[in-house]
Amino acid sequence: MILYSFFRSSAAYRVRIALNLKNLPYETVGVDLLKNGGEHLSDRYKAVNPQMRVPALGLPDGDVLLQSLAIIDYLDERFPEPPLLPADPLAKARVRAVAQIIAADIHPLNNTGALRYLKHRLGHVQDELDTWSKHWIGAGFEAIERLIDPAPYTFGASPTLADICLVPQVANARRIAMPLDRFPKICAVEAACLALPAFDRARPEVQPDTPATGVPVGV
């Protein structure tokens, strides 16, 4: 499998974690969202992903999957061990709710595309972008902090889709120096997850396309 990824993308980070948890080998093809206006906007990448976003997952048969949650659903159905969702319908709904708070509510408001529009089209400076991001991350985290009960992961003794989505979003919060003291449960889950090799190997800092200068903050 080929993962079209940007090291700093939290959506790509989710897929890296899922691939690692499933112990599936993959090749990373870096798609720089910042260089020269963004490699994702090139005709070459548009032929891979018409939406011109990351991640995309190329399968051995030539099919290409888009959207991180759809990719993770495919991986969980195609490679069921270890499962990323509980079997119980109620527990499954709770896991999906936390995942969707992140993927549908928090992430769209502080991803590179939205922030770049605020900066380059509407004239906002980086400090204002960071304030914007912290507000929406905080609003989502307040709900998640009430919904989870670490044991040691978001919903029990095994990591689920909720953990896969939460850890990359915490990384985004840390990248913009957002205080997390009011979210002790979320921080406890992050620590438990990062102790697992599958999560540790997926970190932005250790990806093949990570710049030697580290993880930049701006857009």
Six-digit token string for 85 = 């969702």
The confidence band for 206, taking pLDDT boundaries of 50, 70 and 90, is very high
Whose tokens are 């708070």? That residue is 101
pLDDT tens profile 64-112: 999 999 999 999 999 999 999 999 999 999 999 999 999 999 999 998 8
What is the spatial distance between Cα 186 and Cα 166, in angstroms, rounded to a whole number? 8
Mapping DSSP to helix (H, G, I), strand (E, B) and coil, where does residue 5 land?
A: strand
pLDDT tens profile 16-28: 999 999 999 999 9
Whose tokens are 């928090």? That residue is 106
What is the spatial distance between Cα 34 and Cα 121, in angstroms, rounded to a whole number? 16
Residues 6+ apart with CB under 8 A from 158: 82, 83
Region at 215 (left for phi over 0; alpha for psi -120 to 50; beta for the rest): beta
